[in-house]
């Protein structure tokens, strides 16, 4: 049961997504990632002010099946985290592209977004996986 891939997002090969909102970028995990993980039971969030580096780990997501590292799609400073996930981590399963977002960051170089996969390229990645 794969949700359609939102066209307005950018994606990584590690199954994170990024959505530009004004000067900020919201980051989460894709429907594919949460389906592969199964029931999410814990999300380790970075602290506000943490500097994320593109391609480097910024947190952990744990499910009943596995523990997976979260990788930053772009570099930037965390300005907000989704504290709701502390009490209700399964929001990632219920709404991966909405209420299940993980962090909001101020990009250090918003041009990095252009280097991520668009929806078509991400769909191709999934088909060839």
Confidence of residue 2 (pLDDT cuts 50, 70, 90): very low
The rounded percent of the chain whose pLDDT value lies above 70 is: 98
* The pair of three-digit structure tokens given for residue 105, joined into one six-digit string: 């960051």
> Could you tell me if 13 and 20 are in contact, meaning their C-beta atoms sit under 8 angstroms apart?
no
3 pLDDT higher than 70? no
For domain 10-123, the CATH architecture is Beta Barrel (2.40)
Non-local CB neighbours of 83 within 8 Å, separated by 6+ positions = 45
pLDDT tens digits, 105-115: 999 998 999 99
Tell me the domain boundaries of the chain: 10-123
pLDDT of residue 122: 97
Task: List, for residues 67-86, the tens digit of each pLDDT value.
Answer: 999 999 999 999 999 999 99
Each residue's pLDDT tens digit, 36-59: 999 999 999 999 999 999 999 999
pTM for the model stands at 0.95
Q: How far apart are CA 72 and CA 26, in angstroms?
A: 11
């Amino acid at each position: 049961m794969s949700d359609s891939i939102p066209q307005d997002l950018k994606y990584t090969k590690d199954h994170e997504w990024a959505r530009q909102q004004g000067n900020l970028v919201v980051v989460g995990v894709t429907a594919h990632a949460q389906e592969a993980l199964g029931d999410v039971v814990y999300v380790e969030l970075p602290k506000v002010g943490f500097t994320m580096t593109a391609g480097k780990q910024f947190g952990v997501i744990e499910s009943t099946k596995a523990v997976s590292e979260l990788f930053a799609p772009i570099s930037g400073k965390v300005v907000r985290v989704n504290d709701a996930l502390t009490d209700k981590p399964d929001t990632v399963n219920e709404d991966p592209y909405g209420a299940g977002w993980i962090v909001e960051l101020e990009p250090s170089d918003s041009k990095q977004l252009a280097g991520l996969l668009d929806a078509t390229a991400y769909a191709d990645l999934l088909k060839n996986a």
